Chains A and B, each alone.
Chain A
Amino acid sequence: MPILRLLTQTLAVAEADIRKLRHDPLELLTRMVQPLLWLLIFGEVFARSHAIPTGAVDYLEFITPGILAQSTLFIAIFYGVSVIWERDLGVLHKYLVSPVPRAGLVLGRAVSSGVRGLSQGVVIYLLALALGVRMRVSIDALALVVVTVMLGSAIFATFSLIVACLVKTRERFMGIGQVLTMPLFFASNAIYPLSMMPPWLRAIAGANPLTYQVDALRALMIQGGGSAFGLGVDYGVQVAVLALLTLIATKLYPTIVN
């Protein structure tokens, strides 16, 4: 069964990474600090200021999905560094001489980034519940949150992979990674609504996949939260972006060893 075999091969790429996390979970733990700070400090303070119009939900409820999207973005966008690192070690060559289709290699990476993103989700849910945020905890909503986090991680990890293939060294990548992260985060609806933005920024946010991820999460995670664009649009945009990025990454990935 070629499809089954492709699935085994793709998941093997992800499995290698997940097994590494199991041996050394320190990275996951340190990654959890940042979203905690955003919710506990930024969220709590701005919730008291009432400066941001968030409609029917209060500010902490408004940014909880935004912080989940943000923390998966921050993990995924630096995914390329580990790819460059593996290239420098020689580990990557082993994957590229294997018969795994190139798209499988790229998607395997995306899946493992998604798993990292999910670990953030667990922490954010627990903290948000502790802070009294009215979360949706039904099975179907949670299942869709998992899908959404995986999808968002996949998009930015694949984007990161493309950047890694282009810049090829860790030093250059780190510089570019820093430059990319903040605009992606701030030019989105993660911590304030699009309606507050000047038109030019709103236009940029409209082209930012993170906006659609946050929009979907807002409908799925929060009681009384809703999607501004509709879930169909949210997923349509994200799937299309992922398909395009996967196509590009599949072409570029083999060139990283040259």
Chain B
Amino acid sequence: MSGSEPDARGTPERGPRTTSEQPRAPAIETAGLTRRFGTLIAVDALDLAIPAGAIFGLLGTNGAGKTTVIKMLTTLLAPTGGSARVAGFDITRDAAEVRWHIGYVSQMLSADGELTGYENLLISAKLYGLTRSERRERIDEALRFMDIAAAADRLVSRYSGGMIRRLEIAQSMLHRPQVLFLDEPTVGLDPLARRVVWERIRLLRQNYGTTILMTTHDMEEADQLCDAVALMTLGRLVALGAPADLKLALGPEATLDDVFIHYTGGAAAERGTFQDAARARRTAHRLE
């Protein structure tokens, strides 16, 4: 992933990007996207258009619906209303096509601790049907780019939190997806490890033109990385814009934290479930 071949992004063997190559089409587009769980409306008629090549942040309190949005856009969860297109494909009708064009790093630990870093990459490469020569070349490149080459043959259970996250991002980029979903990519990382991850995310966009949709609780992270952010509260979109514009709207001294509190204030902390809390802490614990 050194950037020496910025246009080698096609899905292996099939080059199916024909319909999604039209310039200017948003990489992600949702129209009234909705998900209900019984009477609870986790995501309520979400309308978003995220331009290709953007780093877009989805912010909100626990239980605001961020992860549900990502689950729908990555085809893990079917919407109960509305529609969405990712990389030009409908998430319900063309779910299989969507999967060829996206990468996803879940909030939890998706790297397998019982395998080595190299093996994790190898399995991912095979899941995406990369040929032997593509596998060799891209795994080498990924190990170098993510600075884990020296630890390639170590079991991931012995990696540091920052190394695991970098490995996971590398895994999700092997097939050169057009759109990458990062669900709280730096949760549980120390400030130094966090900065390294940020730098790699920026480089991914720069080298491959990848569109990145990330969720975060961390306002500094959103401020540093995102071209635009959307704020969600109780499943609804309450603010949308560039971090600088959102801050300016509240006053010259306002921080993104102020923006967050301004828009989410009343609803804060009412929706996070026991399960959310348990999961977040488990992940944080494992990354330590």
In whole angstroms, what is the CA distance A96 to B98 when docked?
12
The answer to whether A23 and B114 touch (CB under 8 A), given A89-B108, A99-B96, is yes
In whole angstroms, what is the CA distance A95 to B99 when docked?
10
**Is the Cβ of A97 less than 8 Å from the Cβ of B75?**
yes
**Is the Cβ of A94 less than 8 Å from the Cβ of B114?**
no
Contacts of A90 in B (CB 8 A): 106-110, 283
The answer to whether A97 and B74 touch (CB under 8 A), given A16-B112, A24-B114, is yes
A-B contact pairs, 29 of them (CB 8 A): A8-B129, A9-B126, A12-B126, A19-B115, A20-B114, A20-B115, A23-B114, A23-B115, A24-B114, A89-B108, A90-B106, A90-B107, A90-B108, A90-B109, A90-B283, A91-B110, A93-B104, A93-B106, A94-B110, A94-B172, A97-B75, A97-B76, A97-B102, A97-B104, A98-B127, A98-B128, A99-B128, A257-B76, A257-B77
Distance in angstroms from B134 CB to nearest chain A CB is: 12
Specify the chain B residue showing the minimal Cβ separation from A108.
B127
The answer to whether A5 and B106 touch (CB under 8 A), given A20-B112, A20-B115, A97-B76, is no
Q: Which of A1-30 contact B (CB under 8 A)?
A: 5, 8-9, 11-13, 15-16, 19-20, 23-24
Contact with B along A215-241 (1 / 0, CB 8 A): 000000000000000000000000000
In whole angstroms, what is the CA distance A106 to B82 when docked?
30
Contact with A along B59-83 (1 / 0, CB 8 A): 0000000000001001111000000
Specify the chain A residue showing the minimal Cβ separation from B77.
A258
A interface majority secondary structure: helix
Is B215's beta carbon under 8 Å from chain A? no
**Is the Cβ of A89 less than 8 Å from the Cβ of B109?**
yes
Is A193's beta carbon under 8 Å from chain B? no
**Is the Cβ of A99 less than 8 Å from the Cβ of B129?**
yes
In whole angstroms, what is the CA distance A19 to B126 when docked?
14
Which of A8, A23, A89, A254 meets B126, CB within 8 Å?
A8
Which of B76, B102, B115 meets A16, CB within 8 Å?
B115
In whole angstroms, what is the CA distance A193 to B104 when docked?
52
Contacts of B123 in A (CB 8 A): 12, 15-16, 19
Q: Which of B145-190 contact A (CB under 8 A)?
A: 155, 171-172
**Is the Cβ of A5 less than 8 Å from the Cβ of B108?**
no
Is B100's beta carbon under 8 Å from chain A? yes
In whole angstroms, what is the CA distance A8 to B108 when docked?
26
Is A47's beta carbon under 8 Å from chain B? no
Is B210's beta carbon under 8 Å from chain A? no
Is B13's beta carbon under 8 Å from chain A? yes
Residues of A in contact with B (beta carbons under 8 Å apart): 5, 8-9, 11-13, 15-16, 19-20, 23-24, 88-91, 93-101, 254, 257-258
Specify the chain A residue showing the minimal Cβ separation from B127.
A98
Which of B74, B119, B127, B155 meets A100, CB within 8 Å?
B127
Contacts of B114 in A (CB 8 A): 20, 23-24
Is B216's beta carbon under 8 Å from chain A? no
Distance in angstroms from B74 CB to nearest chain A CB is: 5
Besides A94-B127, A95-B127, A97-B102, 10 more A-B contacts (Cβ < 8 Å) are: A5-B13, A12-B127, A20-B115, A90-B108, A90-B109, A93-B104, A97-B74, A98-B99, A99-B128, A101-B96
Specify the chain B residue showing the minimal Cβ separation from A258.
B77
Is B124's beta carbon under 8 Å from chain A? yes
Contacts of B111 in A (CB 8 A): 91
Contact with A along B21-65 (1 / 0, CB 8 A): 000000000000000000000000000000000000000000000
The 5 closest A-B pairs by CB, nearest first: A90-B108, A12-B126, A99-B99, A5-B129, A98-B127
Which of B75, B104, B113 meets A94, CB within 8 Å?
B104
In whole angstroms, what is the CA distance A257 to B106 when docked?
12
Contacts of A9 in B (CB 8 A): 126-127, 129
